[in-house]
Structure 1
Amino acid sequence: MPSLVAFNRQWNIGSDDFVFPEITEALVRISWVAFGVSVFVFHFPLACSTHNLTLQFLGLLVINVITIFLAILTAVISARGTIMDSEPRRLVPRLLYIRLPIFIAEIALTILATVHAFRSTNGGEGCDFATIARVTIVLEWFLIVTAVVGLFIVFHLTENDVEDGATIAQRSWSRRMRIFKIGQDTSMRAALDDLATLISSFFVDSDLVPSDVVAGLLLAYHSPNNQYPPVKEKENSSRPKWMNLKDAEYFLHHASCVYGWPTYILYNCGLKSIFRLFRKLQCCGRMRCAQGQSMVVEDNCCYCNTAAVVLANEARNIDLQFMSFRNRLYEVPFAVIADHDRKSIVITIRGSCSLIDLVTDLSLEDELMTVDVDQDATLSQDSEIDRRGEVRVHRGMLRSARCVFDILNKNKILNDLFISNPTYQLVVCGHSLGAGVGSLLTMLLKQEYPSVRCYAFAPPGCVISEFGQDEMEKYVMSVVSGDDIVSRMSFQSLHRLRERVFQELTACQRAKHEILIRGVYQLFFKYPWQDELSGIPRPSSDSPTADLESALLTRRNSYGSANDAAANDPPPSRNPEHNKRLQLYVPGRTVYLSSQDGVTSETWIDPKCLSDVKLSVSVLSDHLPAAVQKLLSSASSSDSEIEPNPNNVEVVVTSQPV
């Protein structure tokens, strides 16, 4: 930081990003030169008749030696200074200007050498120089192609003096999304453009390159000053009897099965399981007339996903009534199952498993992310959901929930099931995206089915606003495990993480290459040195907040004048609409599961405890169904030893704040 300015362009790379690429290039070119010298030593070319090729080959050797020297010099200069101070690296653009004509000459000479090498013969008996030169030239082309590809990756089409940074950032990210638009319809293309606008909003106010973000995340992760909202028990923690860990663990199985055959293979590794799956497949199943009593929509030709769901539920007494694997924008796969063991009609919704699902998840732009519930045809009839103020929900998830709701009504699936099973309980469950969609589907279904229940596993942290939580808590139980990043992800939490990254980059006095090396190393191993990676001093126990603010102020003032320090603060967003966004939360009553020293604890918490992204090595693994199932199994085993109180309210087991 700031990004490199060269050839009147602002590049997607910083002047301190040349350390690793230039060292790698120097080592590769040294190997090439060593190979080329060995050709001259062991296959003396002057004894051959290919004199033109010999001169061109010597020219390539000279160019590579010069390039090695320039690469090493560029790496040395690029390693100077800190991330925020680019003055010691001011010579990097000049070195690039010097290397450009040398690189052009290298390409021209390689073309000539290629023509002569593949047209000429060996040059006489016992002369193998031309053959070996061809191998060397192929390696030279590999170097050139690699350099050109890297150039296109970091090249920025925008001139440096363009004033509208927001428009430039949006266009830049839209170009990066083009590859995902191939073969997509108009709505998907529009959604990708909106996603590009969202991502650009995180970078438009600061001159950060991708490597700066990685370094900042490593600094924030290793910072001794990380302060997260404590995981505390919610004051009014009484809840319905059905909101217990045993039932949640049972229905998590349904939420996992709907992922289809990949999940079945993942959790049932072995030749026997694969063989059983193959036996259940139906070759060209779409052409068959009889598919049993269940309706399957858009499974693959062999019905792999349906077979996996059947196998995963062999030990349970269930009937598959409807399965839809149609996966389009705002259309999520789901299944409707009659579970006779629990006397329940289960609607299970699949989580994120494709690019389309990811677009739905990340549709966080305010205009797309939330909708007024009063504008919804079904929710507007609900007199309880909007008692205190405006209720806003994730727009993409609500559209997906409406799609599932319409399919259920159109095919009269629930009506048919309740005719044959009138005493059964309606249960909605899902994991990840499916949890968010399922919780909103529950609000749509509760008009006709007032006793509907929902188990949301690892739901996104941006489903519904605060004013809708009172009604949501009557029907939805959310399960959050460990440091799951998805359940802590919202527009506001991502912007707060961005500010933390900016503060760490501002305070750090180390070079970027040192941050990357030590930061990645410390993710897996204990660092032998005692000094801390973060540039922000550790606060004292007496007044941690005051010490932290003082350390930040002192560090920023050390760069120069007061104006310089103010310039380094995270600037406010240029878009005033960002400040008007409502905070969205995890839906319903939330139980937080954590494990420490082999002991699993549960705490029924306020969703506001999950308002900040917590950086750890398990932010992704804690989101997986296997991790949730493991914690649920352990916690429910401990919970079953505690007798419920006479009022049918579960006893709360409180964990220590983390």
Structure 2
Amino acid sequence: MITVLMLADFSALITGIVWFIQNYQSCPIEEPKKIVMCAIVSNLCVELLVVMTMYCSFDPAGRSWVKMKKYQRSMRESESRFNYRRSGSTNRNWRQRKVMRAYQDSWNQRCKFLFCCMGSSDRTRNSFTDIARLLSDFFRDLDVVPSDVVAGLVLLRKFQKLEREAIIRQKRHGIFEYLSGVPVTERTQFLALNDSHDYDLFQSVIHYMYYAISAYGWPMYLITHSKTGVCDLCPNLKCCLLCFGRSDRAQVIEDNCCLCNYAALKQMVAEGDVEVIYATYHVDIGETPFFVAVDYTREKIVVSIRGTLSMKDVLTDLNAEGEPLPLNPPREDWLGHKGMVQAAVYIKNKLEEENLILKALNHNPTRGTQNYGLVFVGHSLGAGTASILAILMRQEFLDLQCFSYSPPGGLLSMPAVEHSKEFITSVVVGKDAVPRIGLHQMESLRADLINAIQRSIDPKWKTIACNMICCCCGPEPTSVTKMSEQDSNVNAYQEQKDASRHSTVHPNDNSIALSLHHPLFPPGRIIHIVRHHPTNDE
């Protein structure tokens, strides 16, 4: 029925376009022509959006999935009817393998469609395969529709609020407050800015933040200097430098014809005594742009790595499985985000092949650059890459530092995190989602979402509507009201939630396996910057 309606709507749209083209010139009134044109363009955009959504959401593995579930159901009925049991082998049979291949193929096709501009290199195909396997494992066998997800998220947010209120009332685990979602306990340490050590650390955080921003090039410069950005960049463009006879000693790789990114980079670091000696804007899957600069003010060699800015960077982010860090000697329990491990290895090889660190140390001996220290900085994808690169290179540079701004939440395993606390400082601002997102965290969200949907008593429309009517002033869902009656209900919910997070099977069907990946965490010591509004008593 939906297909028939779509075909009818599409036919009407085509007829309208043909009629509009034939009568556009002969129509003497301009305003109706503009209204009709806007209506046709809007309708065409809606049609294209619907087609793309259907293509991305259509599951070609559904037929194989239904056949497999029918087979499993018939086998269970046979067991109960004739009182016999199968061998109980947990190995996947050919039907399950067929379904898994179908799921991976469908996600692979979606990746190729969404990233069609990426080309068809071996690196791209391998990345699509890895990401498709990851996404098929995560979304496989979750029999939910978008309205289920919305209702579940509404309930989950309300359950979370009740849970935190109960924890604060009971003073459980020594928690007496939450700031931007982070529990505050007696062991929570605050930066004492009246202490010289903490003040110097925070000044370093601010100082190196500009390097992390500068790596983004001209887009970030125009965002941060919206009024004067174009005028500031023009004198530093390549064509202008040639006209005025100015030259530059830096080596710039794969920038655009006018060196816009490098011009923005120089403009953003111009306030300090900084000299850029190398900048590459080459980007590919697992290969991230970066630059090397000499900071005469802090007496440091700074390597700044760019964050996510292109579709290839997105593919690097999505390749989020844990992979052992390439250390010598190897440490099997030191895992890192696979895409960012690849990016860190790429930059490490680049630094070694072109002797960039040695060139920077010998860049200006008269100012003592040979004795300068080494600092890695980055934001988002660049933060994760810089952290892993710092771990890989610390065997050679024992005094290096790393400042990681908004690093991914699923970056390093706990043994690597503990080791990195000596030389990596991560900075998280407020409720930033990136430092809280990782495969393990998303799997926990999936388990919590299934648990919330199971607890729902009201119809979905009522659950969703209660969060929208009168700016969230509508009646609370029944499940939330029941949970809020006693703290014991909240405690029971917490126990059930913790158990579901560690379960490898679907709570409603033991034949459905849920993926559980090794937990990964943000690197180093974390400085969490929050906006706190003191009460009248404080």
TM-score (norm. length: structure 1): 0.60
1:437 aligns with 2:385: yes
1:177 aligns with 2:133: no
1:212 aligns with 2:148: yes
Q: 1:364 aligns with which of 309, 316, 320?
A: 320
**Residues 508 and 536, structure 1, Cα contact 8 Å, conserved in 2:** no
The code of the aligned residue for 2:421 comes to E
1:157 aligns with 2:60: yes
Distance 1:473 1:346 in 2: 19
Distance 1:210 1:162 in 2: 24
How far apart are 1:307 and its partner, in Å? Answer: 0.7
The aligned counterpart of 2:532 is 596
Cα distance change of structure 1 residues 266 and 287 upon mapping to structure 2, 3 Å threshold? same
Q: 1:259 aligns with which of 198, 216, 229?
A: 216
Q: Over residues 99-125 of structure 1, what are the superposed CA-to-partner deviations in whole Å (9 max), with x where a residue is unaligned?
A: 7678878989999x899989x99xxxx
Q: Which moved more, 1:333-342 or 1:220-229?
A: 220-229
The aligned counterpart of 1:498 is 446
Q: Over residues 461-508 of structure 1, what are the superposed CA-to-partner deviations in whole Å (9 max), with x where a residue is unaligned?
A: 222212223321111111122222211222221111011111222222
The aligned counterpart of 1:478 is 426
1:421-436 aligned at under 5 Å gives the runs 421-436=369-384
**Residues 504 and 534, structure 1, Cα contact 8 Å, conserved in 2:** no
1:293 aligns with 2:249: yes
How far apart are 1:533 and its partner, in Å? Answer: 8.0
The code of the aligned residue for 2:444 comes to R
Distance 1:404 1:288 in 2: 34
**Residues 401 and 438, structure 1, Cα contact 8 Å, conserved in 2:** yes
Let me know the Cα RMSD of the aligned residues. Answer: 4.3
How far apart are 1:446 and its partner, in Å? Answer: 1.7
How far apart are 1:182 and its partner, in Å? Answer: 3.9
Q: 2:417 aligns with which of 440, 452, 469?
A: 469
1:543 aligns with 2:444: no
The code of the aligned residue for 2:420 comes to M
Q: Over residues 309-345 of structure 1, what are the superposed CA-to-partner deviations in whole Å (9 max), with x where a residue is unaligned?
A: 1111221111001111111111111111111111111
1:407 aligns with 2:360: no
1:391 aligns with 2:334: yes
**Residues 392 and 465, structure 1, Cα contact 8 Å, conserved in 2:** yes
The code of the aligned residue for 1:297 comes to I
How far apart are 1:278 and its partner, in Å? Answer: 2.0
Distance 1:238 1:143 in 2: 55
Cα distance change of structure 1 residues 550 and 151 upon mapping to structure 2, 3 Å threshold? closer
How far apart are 1:290 and its partner, in Å? Answer: 8.4
1:333-348 aligned at under 5 Å gives the runs 333-348=289-304
The code of the aligned residue for 1:407 comes to K
The code of the aligned residue for 2:316 comes to T
The code of the aligned residue for 1:370 comes to E
1:95-114 aligned at under 5 Å gives the runs 96=1
% identity of equivalent residues = 26
How far apart are 1:256 and its partner, in Å? Answer: 1.0
The aligned counterpart of 2:279 is 323
Cα distance change of structure 1 residues 156 and 322 upon mapping to structure 2, 3 Å threshold? same
Which structure 1 segments of 5+ residues have no match? Answer: 1-95, 122-131, 553-565, 600-655
Distance 2:209 2:133 in 1: 35
Distance 1:291 1:546 in 2: 68
Cα distance change of structure 1 residues 529 and 114 upon mapping to structure 2, 3 Å threshold? closer
1:74-153 aligned at under 5 Å gives the runs 96=1, 146=47, 149=51
Cα distance change of structure 1 residues 105 and 308 upon mapping to structure 2, 3 Å threshold? closer
TM-score (norm. length: structure 2): 0.72
Distance 1:449 1:234 in 2: 32
Higher relative contact order (CA 8 A, sep 6+): 1
Q: Classify the secondary structure of the residue corresponding to 1:403.
A: helix
**Residues 506 and 568, structure 1, Cα contact 8 Å, conserved in 2:** no
Q: Which moved more, 1:273-282 or 1:296-305?
A: 273-282
How far apart are 1:362 and its partner, in Å? Answer: 2.0
Cα distance change of structure 1 residues 212 and 283 upon mapping to structure 2, 3 Å threshold? farther
How far apart are 1:518 and its partner, in Å? Answer: 4.7
Greater C-alpha radius of gyration: 1
The code of the aligned residue for 1:313 comes to V
Q: Over residues 263-300 of structure 1, what are the superposed CA-to-partner deviations in whole Å (9 max), with x where a residue is unaligned?
A: 11111120x33211122212399999985211111111
Distance 1:514 1:442 in 2: 51
1:587 aligns with 2:530: no
**Residues 453 and 476, structure 1, Cα contact 8 Å, conserved in 2:** yes
Cα distance change of structure 1 residues 252 and 572 upon mapping to structure 2, 3 Å threshold? farther
The code of the aligned residue for 1:526 comes to C
The code of the aligned residue for 1:466 comes to M
Distance 2:218 2:18 in 1: 55
Distance 2:245 2:396 in 1: 34
Q: Over residues 513-550 of structure 1, what are the superposed CA-to-partner deviations in whole Å (9 max), with x where a residue is unaligned?
A: 4444554x47xx73232424865733456435445379
Distance 1:422 1:534 in 2: 66
Cα distance change of structure 1 residues 210 and 289 upon mapping to structure 2, 3 Å threshold? farther
The code of the aligned residue for 1:337 comes to A
**Residues 361 and 370, structure 2, Cα contact 8 Å, conserved in 1:** yes
Q: Over residues 118-174 of structure 1, what are the superposed CA-to-partner deviations in whole Å (9 max), with x where a residue is unaligned?
A: 9x99xxxxxxxxxx9xx89x97x9699939837656544345334244333323222
Q: Over residues 402-453 of structure 1, what are the superposed CA-to-partner deviations in whole Å (9 max), with x where a residue is unaligned?
A: 1111111111111122123122221111111111111111122222221101
How far apart are 1:261 and its partner, in Å? Answer: 0.9
**Residues 219 and 533, structure 1, Cα contact 8 Å, conserved in 2:** no
**Residues 286 and 301, structure 1, Cα contact 8 Å, conserved in 2:** no
**Residues 463 and 477, structure 2, Cα contact 8 Å, conserved in 1:** no
The aligned counterpart of 1:633 is none
**Residues 351 and 431, structure 1, Cα contact 8 Å, conserved in 2:** yes
Which structure 2 segments of 5+ residues have no match? Answer: 24-32, 69-95, 165-180, 498-504
Distance 1:105 1:333 in 2: 49
Distance 1:546 1:154 in 2: 37
**Residues 503 and 570, structure 1, Cα contact 8 Å, conserved in 2:** no
Distance 1:254 1:476 in 2: 16
1:353 aligns with 2:254: no
The aligned counterpart of 1:460 is 408
Distance 1:549 1:447 in 2: 43
Distance 2:18 2:412 in 1: 69
**Residues 370 and 392, structure 1, Cα contact 8 Å, conserved in 2:** yes
The code of the aligned residue for 1:595 comes to R
Number of residue equivalences: 457
How far apart are 1:360 and its partner, in Å? Answer: 1.5
The aligned counterpart of 1:604 is none
Distance 1:585 1:549 in 2: 22
The aligned counterpart of 2:457 is 509
Q: 2:133 aligns with which of 197, 221, 228?
A: 197
**Residues 293 and 301, structure 2, Cα contact 8 Å, conserved in 1:** yes
Q: Which moved more, 1:257-266 or 1:285-294?
A: 285-294
The code of the aligned residue for 1:399 comes to Q
